[in-house]
Amino acid sequence: MSTRSIKDLTKLEPKMTSGHRLCAGCAEGIIARQVLMATDKPVVVANATGCFEVSTSIYPYTSWKVPWIHTAFGNGAATGAGVEAAYQSLKKQGKIKDDMRFVSFAGDGATYDIGLQALSGAMERGHQMMHVCFNNEAYMNTGIQRSSATQFGASTTTSPAGTAIPWKAEYSKDMTMIMIAHDIPYAAQASPHNWRDLIGKAEKGFECGGPAFLNVISTCPRGWRTPNDSAITMAQLAVQTCVWPLYEYENGKISLTADSERIATGKQEKKPLMDWFSAQGRYKHLTKDKYIPLVQTLQERLDAKWEKLLKLSKL
């Protein structure tokens, strides 16, 4: 948890300015600003192709007050790693004196799918950089197509709710656990509704001395079919239903944090999965009576995943 107060944070010079072209209600700008608040050191941002990239760098304008680089889609982590590799060389040669930090931003497409190989390579090689995934659970920049982060049952433009095939029929990949399996110094899941938890995790990621991974649930009102003012409440609901547990992996140990820790210890209510489905247009078909048994099965599956995480956190 960050020790910074809201008052302190409001005094910080924004590294990414307002006036960007993200959609109304998009959580990505909020998450990026929270992440960048977590370091006082000079930081260089690398960005994979995606919503966030195209919305902040339309020539001749830029939203960036810090050095920023984009090259392509499947290589956000490799781009960050290239800047870090240059830094390590020049620092060792005495050509750079400052202590600097490196972050790569990418969507779930550029993290879970097309960018997985480059990310895995960068993490394995031990670059001192943090990869942050804005996980809005589909390829939103190209128009809401399914990704391997899209959850079972969601309707997307390439897994539409049809008469023969009713929805996306595959479960999402557990990317955070894949990153933990790389045994990097720090990995975590976060949500922008709990800024103190998110910023605290980003602080740890920046200072862990090696590669770090931060997977952040990122509301997309266009893709999720939710109101424009729901970015924070929807991300919060993901955590309250345990669809998106908050936890971290540090020094080889998994720990639940914030809201999720409170749910685990009975200090906070665990909301039913149906609350998550009924709040979003992309799941509206699942709220029909005939799917009550299916939703029950999905709830059981989610509960089992949650229990497994609880066990891991007790190891």
Partner 1 sequence: MADLAINGDSAIALAWKQIDPDVCAAYPITPQTIIVERFSDYVADGEVNTNFVCVESEHSALTLCTASSSAGARTFTATASQGLAYMWEMLPITSAMRTPVVMAVANRALSGPININNDHSDAMAARDCGWVMIFAENVQEAYDNAVMAPRIAEHHDVQLPIMTNIDGFILTHAVERMTPLDSKDVKSFVGDFKPLYPLLDWKNPVTHGVMDGPEYYYKHKYQMVEAMENAIKVTEKVFKDFKKISGREYRLVEEYMCDDAEFVAVVLGSSYGTMKAVVDELRAEGKKVGAIMPRLYRPWPDKHMTAALKGKKAVAVLDKHAPIGAYGALYADVCTSLIDMKDAPAAYNYIYGLGGKDATAKDFRTIFEDMLAGKAAKYTFMGVDE
- Judge contact between 125 and 251, C-beta under 8 A: no
- 10 Å CB burial of residue 92 (0-12, 13-18, 19+) is exposed
The region of 64-72, 130-138, 194-202, 303-311 touching partner 1 under the rule CB under 8 A is 64-72
Indicate the residue among 60 and 252 with the shorter CB distance to partner 1.
Answer: 60
The region of 23-31, 82-90, 131-139, 178-186 touching partner 1 under the rule CB under 8 A is 82-90
What Rg, from alpha-carbon coordinates, does the chain have? 19
- Judge contact between 212 and 205, C-beta under 8 A: yes
- As given in the structure block, the two tokens for residue 14 are 């924004």
Q: Please give the single-letter amino acid code of residue 161.
A: A
Which residue from 25, 28, 87, 198 is in contact with partner 1, where contact means CB under 8 A? 87
Which residue from 4, 9, 23, 120 is in contact with partner 1, where contact means CB under 8 A? 120
- Judge contact between 139 and 112, C-beta under 8 A: no
Task: Check binding of 142 to partner 1 (CB under 8 A).
Answer: no
Task: Check binding of 89 to partner 1 (CB under 8 A).
Answer: yes
Minimum Å gap between C-beta 143 and partner 1 is 17
Q: Please list, in sequence order, all residues whose beta carbon lies within 8 angstroms of the beta carbon of residue 7, skipping any fewer than 6 positions away.
A: none
Indicate the residue among 46 and 246 with the shorter CB distance to partner 1.
Answer: 46
Indicate the residue among 114 and 190 with the shorter CB distance to partner 1.
Answer: 114
Minimum Å gap between C-beta 305 and partner 1 is 29
Indicate the residue among 182 and 270 with the shorter CB distance to partner 1.
Answer: 182
- As given in the structure block, the two tokens for residue 218 are 């990122």
Q: Please give the single-letter amino acid code of residue 195.
A: W
DSSP letter for 169, please: -
Indicate the residue among 69 and 312 with the shorter CB distance to partner 1.
Answer: 69
Pairing assessment for the beta strands 212-217 and 186-190 based on DSSP bridges: parallel
Q: CA-CA distance, 13 to 79, in Å (whole number)?
A: 25
Minimum Å gap between C-beta 291 and partner 1 is 41
Taking CB under 8 A as the criterion, which residues in 16-45 touch partner 1? 42-44
Pairing assessment for the beta strands 186-190 and 247-250 based on DSSP bridges: antiparallel
Q: Which residue has the tokens 């948890």?
A: 1
Task: Check binding of 90 to partner 1 (CB under 8 A).
Answer: yes
Minimum Å gap between C-beta 139 and partner 1 is 17
Residues of the shown chain interacting with partner 1 in the complex, contacts defined by CB under 8 A: 42-44, 46, 53-54, 57-60, 62, 64-72, 74-75, 78-83, 85-90, 92-93, 96, 98, 100, 117-118, 120-122, 124-125
